[in-house]
A and B are shown apart, each in its own frame.
Chain A
Amino acid sequence: MKLIYEKSHPGRRAGRLLSLGLPVPGVPAELCRTEPPRLPEIAEPDLLRHFTELSTRNFGVDTGFYPLGSCTMKHNPRVNERLAALPGFRDLHPLEDEDRAQGALRLCIELQEALAEVTGLAAVSLQPAAGSQGELTGLMLMHAYFADRGEDERRRKIVIPDTAHGTNPASVTMTGYELTHVQTDARGNIDVDDLRAKVDEETAGLMLTNPSTLGLFDENIEEIERIFHGAGALMYYDGANLNAVCGISRPGDMGFDIVHINLHKTFSQPHGGGGPGGGPIAVAERLEPFLPAPAIVRDGERYRLDFDRPKTIGKVRGYYGPFGVFVRSYAFIRAYGPQLREMSEAAVLNANYLLARLRDAYDLPFDRLCMHEFVLSARGLKREHGATAFDVAKRLMDYGFHPPTVYFPLIVPEALMIEPTETEAKETLDAFADAMLAIAAEAAERPEELHEAPHRTPVGRLDEVKAAKRAIVRYHFEEHPDLAAEPAAAGVESA
C-alpha cells in the first residue's frame, strides 16, 4: 500500500481557508521559512480513502477477540464516543472561568469520588496521562511524603517483584530511586522470606500489581502489608489488573497507600492504536496534601479548582488531565453502577473457563485458579516440536484472533499471557480455545504452518533486524531507499 506522500500531486489540496484580503505582516527574514514542509497534496476523497484503507489493514477490538494479558481489551461502548463529542465538553477551553465549566468540573468530581470508592482510598488526582505517568506521580508523592518527615535522604529503595511490568523499574529510575527485586515463589506469590530480608529503614516503598502479571492474587498480601508499613514504608498499587477485583477487593483495603488506575484498561477508554489513556491516582489521606495541583474540589453546591496547595509535588501534565478520557470512563462507570462487581466476576469467570479448556494442551507454570488473566507456557511445544510462543502467536492470526501477550512475564519461558475480559461471549472463548488446541496439534503434525505463519494478513513476518539496523523512520521522498533491493547496513538516514 502506498504512503500518503506517494499519493501526493502538486497543486491538489483538501482544505481551503476563507480569503480575507487582509495584509499579512512581515516576518524578519532570518525567521522566515525557506523550504515548505513536504506535506501531502491530496484532495479529500483520496485522503479519506487512504485512511479507510489503512483501517482495513488493522485489527481492533471491534474486529475480533483481543486477549492481550494485562491490557484489558474490552468492548469500547459507542455511546461514550457520542458523549465525549458533545460540544459542551469538546469545545470547552481549559482556561475558561470555573463558572463556565461547572459541568466539566462536576464530572471530574464525580469520577474522582467513584474511583475513590472502587479503590477504597481517600483522595484522587485525575491529572496523570497514563498508567506510567501515574507511577511516576506516585513515586514523586513518596519522595514528598518522606521529605516532609525528614526521611527522604535515607529511604532510597523501591521493591518490585521479578514479575513486574517494565514501566515499574523505568519509573523508579526516572524518579531517582534505586531498585530492589524480590522473587516469586512456587505458588506465584511474592516470596515473603525474601521480602523480609530486603525491607528495612532504607526502603521507601513497594510497587505491586495484585493480582500479579501472572493473573494470581497474592495470598500473602496481609503479611506484605505488615512488612512494609511496619518498616514505615509505603505501598504502591499498579492498577493494570484492577479489572479482576472491582467491588470484590479494594487496593486501599489491601493496605495500599497509592493506586493508579488505567482508565484505558478497566474503564474502557479506547486504546486508539497506542493511546490516549488516563492514569489517575488515588491516595490515602496522609498523602493527599502532596497531590498534583490544581485539585478539583467541591465548594458547597459548586465545583472549583484549588491552586492553593502548598505541599503539592507540582504539575505532571498540562491542565487537569485528559478530560475527554474522563467523559468516556465516567460514562462506563455510570452504565454499571454497583454492578461493576458483576463486570469483574465475569472477567474472572471468562479467564478461568479458558484456562480450564487450555491447561492440558499447554504448560501451566502455576497450578491455581486464576483471576482475570492467566499465563501458559509453550515450552513443551518448543522442546518437543521446535514451536515457540512466537509461532503460536503468528498462527493465531490465521484463525482470525489477535494473539495474547507473549514473552511476558519474564519469569515464565515461552509465556502466553491471556486476558479475555468480561465482554466476550462464550462461543468466542470456545472458538479461541479450539484454535489454540488446533495449533498445538499442528505443532506436532505440521510445524511449518506455524513457522511460516501468518499467511492471511496484509504482510507476512517482518524483518525486525533490518528495521533496527537500517532505521528508516520517515519517508525520504526522492531519496527514499528501496529496501527490497538493498542489503542491510548500519546507521540512521539523515536529512
Chain B
Amino acid sequence: MSYLALTDADREAMLETIGVSSIDELFADLPAGVRFSRELDLPPALTEQELTAYFEQLASENEPAAAAISFLGAGMYDHYVPAVADAVLQRGELLTAYTPYQPELSQGVLQAIFEYQTAICELTGMDVSNASGYDGTTVAADACYIAKHATGRGKVVVTEATSPQVRQVVKTYAPGFGLEVVEVPHRDGATDPDELRAAAADAACAIFQHPNFFGVLEPAPELAAAAADAEALPVAHVDPLSLGVLEAPGRYGCAIAIGEGQPAGNHVSYGGPHYGFLAARAEFIRRMPGRIVGETTDVAGNRGYVLTLQTREQHIRREKATSNITTNQTLLSLAGLVYLSWLGPQGLRDVGETCMALAEHAKERLGLPLVFSDRTTFKEFAVRVGRPADEVVRDALAHGVHPGYALGRDYPGMDDVLLVAVTEKRTPDDIDRLAEVLTG
C-alpha cells in the first residue's frame, strides 16, 4: 500500500533524537481551530494489485482509438508513436529528475533540452526555442505577452481559422495582459491578407494557424507580410509534422513560431499532458518565457549545458518576469525529440507526404462535397454530409468507424460539416471502410 520505509522502531529512535515523545507534538504549532479531527473521507487504501484491477476497469469503460477506425483530429492526432520514444521516457534518471537547476548532476536533461531546442529551431527556421510551454494553446498566450512587451501595443489579432481552443485561451489570458483580441474571419476556409493587414493596425501581433483548423493551407507568406506591413509581429501556429513539406515560418518573415507538439511523439491521452513549442528570432531572446538551455564550458574546458538567461524567469525577476512558468513539459518534449530523431529529415517529409496523399485519396473515395473545394489541404479536410454531422458520427461509430469532428459546435452554419483527419496510421482499406459507412 504505502511507499513509506518507516518502521515503529525508526519512529521511536527519531522521536527521541528530536526530543519529543509523539508525532502529535510535532504539530503543536497548529492552532486548534484549524486541526482536522476526523479521518479523511476517502475510499480505503488499495494494494498495487487492487489498484491495477480498479484502473483497468476504468480504462475499459473508454473507447480508445483502437476501438474504432478513427478519422478524428481537430487538434489532437492519432500519429504513430515509436516504441523507442516510450522506452526513453521510462529511464528513471530522466523520468524522476527535477528541473536541472544543478547542472553538474543534470547534463542528461540539459543536453536533451538543447537538442530539442535545436530541432524546433530547425523545423521552424528560428534562432531560439524555449524548453517547452504547457501546450499548443498557452504558447499563443505566451506569444501575445512577448509581442505586448516588444511593441507596447494593446491589441492582438487572431484568425478565425485558428483552432477554437487556441482562441479561447488567448481570450482568457488577454484581460490580465491588458490586451484586446480581434478576430479576422475566414473567407472560404482561408484568411485574406488585406483583411488581416487592416485588422492588425495598432496590433502587437497577428496569429494565424497554418495549416489552419480546417486543414487548409493559408497564404502564409502573404499573411506574415500583411502583419509586418501593419508593424504587428507575425506569429505562425504550425503543425510540426507539416514542416517536412511546408516552408519554415522563419523563412517567410515570421517573428515567432508556435504550435502543439502532440503529433510529434506524444500519445493523445485524453488531451494531455503534451508540450507546446515556442521559437522566435534572435532579437526576442530576452523576452522569451520559460527555460532556455545554453552551451558553455566547465573549469576544465569540457563542453557542458546550463539553464541560461535565468534573469528572465520568475525565480529571479519575480514580478517583472517574462512569465510565471516554472514546471513545463520537458518529459513530453523529450519524447518529441526522440520521435523527430527517429524520423530524420527524410522521415519527416515522408510523414507529411503520406498524410497528404492519404487525405487526397480519401477525398476522392468519399466523393462528398468539399466545403473548401478550391483550397489545398494538409492532413484534414471538411466535407458536407447532408445532415447533422453529429448524427453521422454516432451512426458511423455503431459501425466501428469514427468519421471525424462535427465542426458545427465551433463554426456557425457548419452543422452538416465533418472535419476528416487522415494520418499515416490510416490505410486505403480504412478509407474504403469510411466511404462505405458514410456513403454506402
CA–CA, A171 and B300, complex, Å:
40
Q: List 27 A-B residue pairs with CB atoms under 8 Å apart, sorted by A's residue number.
A: A15-B82, A18-B354, A25-B356, A32-B247, A33-B245, A52-B91, A54-B112, A57-B107, A58-B109, A61-B92, A81-B95, A83-B51, A88-B64, A92-B268, A95-B75, A169-B318, A170-B314, A170-B319, A318-B135, A337-B42, A348-B26, A394-B104, A403-B102, A452-B299, A460-B104, A462-B297, A467-B294
Closest Cβ of chain A to B106, distance in Å, is 6
Closest Cβ of chain B to A262, distance in Å, is 8
Given A4-B115, A337-B46: A63 in contact with B93 (beta carbons within 8 A): yes
**Cβ contacts under 8 Å, A468 to chain B:** 294, 308-309, 311
A39 touching B6 by the CB < 8 A rule? no
**Cβ contacts under 8 Å, B165 to chain A:** 315, 318-319
**Cβ contacts under 8 Å, A246 to chain B:** 40
A356 touching B91 by the CB < 8 A rule? no
CA–CA, A216 and B27, complex, Å:
10
B247 touching A34 by the CB < 8 A rule? yes
Given A24-B353, A58-B108, A335-B48: A5 in contact with B84 (beta carbons within 8 A): no
Check: A338 CB closer than 8 A to any chain B CB.
yes
For B48, B72, B75, the residue with the greatest tally of chain A CB atoms inside 10 Å of its CB is B48
**Cβ contacts under 8 Å, A63 to chain B:** 92-93, 96
Q: Mark A282-323, 1 if CB is under 8 A from B, else 0.
A: 000000000010000000000000000000011111111111
A319 touching B271 by the CB < 8 A rule? yes
Check: B35 CB closer than 8 A to any chain A CB.
yes
Check: B388 CB closer than 8 A to any chain A CB.
no
B39 touching A247 by the CB < 8 A rule? yes
B296 touching A463 by the CB < 8 A rule? yes
Pick the contact of A272: B59, B70, B331 (CB < 8 A).
B331
Pick the contact of B269: A106, A272, A292, A323 (CB < 8 A).
A323
Stretch at the interface among A128-136, A190-198, A381-389, A440-448: A128-136
B91 touching A274 by the CB < 8 A rule? no
Closest Cβ of chain A to B214, distance in Å, is 15
Pick the contact of A315: B172, B252, B297 (CB < 8 A).
B172
For A16, A129, A323, A452, the residue with the greatest tally of chain B CB atoms inside 10 Å of its CB is A129
Q: Which chain B residue lies CB-closest to A402?
A: B105
B107 touching A1 by the CB < 8 A rule? yes
**Cβ contacts under 8 Å, B320 to chain A:** 173
Q: How large is the interface on A (under 10, 10 to 19, 20 to 34, 35 or more residues)?
A: 35 or more
Given A88-B64, A130-B326, A403-B102: A248 in contact with B93 (beta carbons within 8 A): no
Q: Mark A205-236, 1 if CB is under 8 A from B, else 0.
A: 00000000000110101100000000000000
B297 touching A483 by the CB < 8 A rule? yes
Pick the contact of B36: A18, A61, A94, A247 (CB < 8 A).
A247
**Cβ contacts under 8 Å, A32 to chain B:** 245-247
Given A13-B344, A319-B270: A272 in contact with B95 (beta carbons within 8 A): yes
Check: B150 CB closer than 8 A to any chain A CB.
no
Pick the contact of A423: B4, B117, B397 (CB < 8 A).
B4
**Cβ contacts under 8 Å, A355 to chain B:** 18
**Cβ contacts under 8 Å, A97 to chain B:** 393-394, 397
